[in-house]
Structure 1
């Protein structure tokens, strides 16, 4: 049964604009408007029990993310997936609200393979004391996580993001949301196969190469980590179906 406007407004949470953004973004990405015109601002305000200003701001934010476009005499239209900003953290999260996709997982890791080995090589050349310390701290968290003393997912992500920052290249650092999302998805997938989140020895090899300023070894070690994930994806395509059922 559909929620009435009062119930719907309550479901959006305390921040009505972001709640509406999240609600509509999920609907768009999961195909709710494939065969239905996107509602007008007046219709949305009535359906969701919010003001026109809240609606207008949420629609503006969705437009900035590439999900919507406003055209004279045509109203607000849902844009094709090719127009979506896939580097936006919200869009990435909404994509993962759809059914699990082995193809999407492979695409995430293809992007990682183009970014992270290069970032590791740069970190070996450019990382300062703070950057090295952050990488070391990330690895220490991974070790602690193996002993049940930290969160395995958060620790692994912290290690990889520290390397992006240590590269001293602001463009690599801007990929943090994509890399974090790709890692979350990859780790859940690999857990189904290996029963653990990370190969500590492989990650230590990256850390050591960066600390000793060996850029080639850092590139190679990071490429090996991501290559192992790509091999698991290629060798276990049927796990996509089991993930959909979860």
Structure 2
């Protein structure tokens, strides 16, 4: 079912205001125009404006209270695990410090996910990781998108871990990988990831060796951190 026109207007206003906040058009601690003024400024209904304000409040970007108006909250209140918030930040100001923090999150999660995949992955899930690796090979030949293939590989391991919390992180990891991988590949001067190292990860998972799987993922993430650190 297609979204209603009002839903589309709400989402567009949420996006426009979210980008404006992240880019500093509305600075932290400052106020946004009133809902009535936003209606006029963005040519949307009061109900759409109210819904957009609620969505931004839920994402931790603003607070809206009677007599205080709409205030922009500090960055440590923003929900970094919200894919909209993360996308806005990464599209407007993907700082090296932020990419480093994200890679540190990956380092805390993905090696363990690979170890769990080595123990828990079903035959179908192993096939999904293998298909993603095949896409990476094809991407090297110009037959697939290298970024999409790389993201599919890493997120399929999260799914194969069998850990429901890790599975919930696939969209978050995929969103940030879109910027992070592009950046580290640019530093290395290559269009795509090292297929051999990713094949080694798959083989350790298929051999049901959790320690080797953990070490194989740790190695490529340590390399990514070193690359980022070299540019800071």
**The TM-score by the shorter chain falls in which range?**
over 0.9
Deviations 1:135-178 (A, max 9, x none): 11111111110111100000000000100001111100111123
The 5-angstrom pairing of residues 123-134 of structure 1 reads: 123-134=117-128
Distance in structure 1 (CA, Å) of the matches to 2:224 and 2:208: 25
Which residue of structure 2 lines up, in the alignment, with residue 48 of structure 1?
42
1:92 is paired with a residue whose SS is helix
Distance in structure 2 (CA, Å) of the matches to 1:149 and 1:131: 23
From the superposition, tell whether residues 230 and 13 of structure 1 become closer, same or farther in structure 2 (CA, over 3 Å).
Answer: farther
Query: Which structure 2 segments of 5+ residues have no match?
Result: none
Query: Which structure 1 segments of 5+ residues have no match?
Result: 1-11, 238-246
Q: How many residue pairs align between the two structures?
A: 226
Distance in structure 2 (CA, Å) of the matches to 1:70 and 1:143: 50
Deviations 1:205-227 (A, max 9, x none): 11011111100011000011111
Distance in structure 1 (CA, Å) of the matches to 2:6 and 2:179: 26
Which residue of structure 2 lines up, in the alignment, with residue 208 of structure 1?
203
1:94 aligns to 2:88 (yes or no): yes
Which residue of structure 1 lines up, in the alignment, with residue 23 of structure 2?
30
Deviations 1:2-28 (A, max 9, x none): xxxxxxxxxx99921111110000011
The 5-angstrom pairing of residues 62-101 of structure 1 reads: 62-101=56-95
The 5-angstrom pairing of residues 1-246 of structure 1 reads: 15-34=8-27, 36-194=30-188, 195-237=190-232
Distance in structure 1 (CA, Å) of the matches to 2:226 and 2:30: 40
Which residue of structure 2 lines up, in the alignment, with residue 242 of structure 1?
none
Distance in structure 2 (CA, Å) of the matches to 1:190 and 1:81: 25
2:33 is paired with a residue whose SS is coil
Kindly state the Cα deviation for residue 236 of structure 1 after the two structures are TM-superposed.
2.7
Kindly state the Cα deviation for residue 130 of structure 1 after the two structures are TM-superposed.
1.4
TM-score, scaled relative to structure 2: 0.93
1:149 is paired with a residue whose SS is coil
RMSD (CA atoms): 1.7
2:70 is paired with a residue whose SS is strand
